[in-house]
Amino acid sequence: MTLKLTLAAAALLLAAGARAEFHQWAPTPPMGWNSWDCYGPTVVEDEVKANADYLAEHLKPHGWEYVVVDIRWFVENDKAGGYNQRDPRYVMDGYGRYLPAVNRFPSAAGGAGFKALADYVHGKGLKFGIHVMRGVPKIAVEQKLPVKGADGVTADQIYSPDRQCGWLKDNYTIVSNRAGAQEYYNSIFELYAGWGVDFVKVDDLAAPYHQGEIELIRRAIDRCGRPMVLSISPGPTPLDRAAHVSAHANMWRLVGDLWDEWTQVKALFGVTAKWLPHSAPGAWPDCDMLPLGRLAIRGERGADRPSRLTRDEQHSLMTLLTISRSPLMFGGDLPSNDAFTLSLLTNRAVLAMHRESAGAKVLFQDPGKIALTARHPGGAVYLALFNLQDHAPQTLTVKLSDIGFTRGARAANLWTGEQLGALNGEITSPLAPHACALYRLEE
């Protein structure tokens, strides 16, 4: 074997090892808080810390661990309610890499970036994440800033205006096969690794699907020297890209932004059902954030409010996401939580199902109802029943033999803790419109 072939084979082995390793960074679906639903593009450092404090005190014992600063943390004068204002004041370094706006994140002064804020989050036993738009900043292109590590290549040599994000014009597309393209992505993830970033949500990647840039990002993360969970958005991610996305990302969005409207939640059932076969440790189809609690304090959809979803609808949303093993990213302002909202996030039996179950699938489905099942490694079966009717109550019935029990079963309602005792032949659940029931069954 020639030296050239030996080196190529070694490179392939290293790449395969990196792919195997990054799936180990998210063995269960990631759980945390994201600033988008409550603060839009305007969150400031003290608000991030307040949410981290709450997460550490109330939710960390239940598996919640990520604190994520969402979009446009590098703009000094952003405001809620719309993007692309006439004169955004960007903050970036001499290599065209965005830096946190110091007027919003004072600990970033002196070029420190998010290092101090990440240290604060880590000091709580939590993990720190940020949002990033794909591509290279327009002003880096206009100023022909050098690409770090690219031997004289400048930003104007790696970009294209084609396929630019349609809803946010900060960046241009990076042409994946141009000299300097990989080096630009390497440079930003090198920067994030130095800050202590554990999670990165990269936007405008999945719909439309930007395969070239996804691969550049995957390689950049794998070489940056720090485990960094990769979330790509927004949806819908094309179903025919399932094999590719699961080989490159830890989580990927199934829908656009999910807000507190039942019509959006109802539509999520059909989309999620199609993706259930593609869920696996380290690679998770993502139903988007939980629009629960206090929303839109300075957000993008409506006025400051508690979630408009009813309690039944909130239970249905949480049940769908937990039995399907979607990542759970809470979107409301955590310190504003009431007792009911906290109860949704701390139910030990429901979260154990989310963490430990496997093989979720549709048992039956029609426009007015759906049933999902999943299995615990110890042999128990989880059963979720949903009434999707808008006005009519209905009773859903499942034969025990249809879910693997031929000699009867015992059942427990996971949300209420009620023990149903011994069942023979079937399980029956009367449900109000938009309501659900979630059971654990075992012999």
DSSP run (H or E) holding 116: helix 115-123
Cα distance between residue 161 and residue 321, in whole Å: 37
DSSP run (H or E) holding 422: strand 419-423
Q: Tell me what pLDDT residue 299 has.
A: 80
Q: How far out from the chain centre does Cα 355 lie?
A: 15
Q: Tell me what pLDDT residue 78 has.
A: 87
Cα angle 367, 369, 372; round to 5 = 120
Cα distance between residue 307 and residue 38, in whole Å: 11
Contact indicator for 395, 425 with CB cutoff of 8 Å: no
Low-confidence ranges of the chain (pLDDT < 50): 1-18
Q: 180-236: per-residue pLDDT in tens?
A: 999 999 999 999 999 999 999 999 999 999 999 999 999 999 999 999 999 999 999
Cα distance between residue 77 and residue 80, in whole Å: 10
What would you report as the CA-atom Rg of the chain, rounded to the nearest whole angstrom?
23
Structure tokens at 391: 């006005």
Strand 369-375 with 381-387, pairing: antiparallel
Q: Give the burial string for 67-104 (b: 16+ CB within 10 Å, else e).
A: bbbbbbbbbeebeeeebeeeebebbeeebbbbbbbbeb
Domains of the chain and CATH, by start: 23-356 (3.20.20.70), 362-442 (2.60.40.1180)
pTM: 0.93
Q: Which residues contact 121 (CB under 8 A, 6 or more apart)?
A: 48, 52, 67, 127, 128
What is the identity of the amino acid at 184? Y
What is the identity of the amino acid at 260? D
Cis peptide before 27 (omega within 30 of 0): no
List, in sequence order, the alpha helices (H) in 150-250.
181-195, 211-223, 242-248
Reference 436, options 266, 271, 272, 285; nearest CA is 266
Exposure of 12 by Cβ count < 10 A (0-12 exposed, 13-18 middle, 19+ buried)? exposed
Structure tokens at 60: 């960390």
Q: Tell me what pLDDT residue 260 has.
A: 98
Cis peptide before 238 (omega within 30 of 0): no
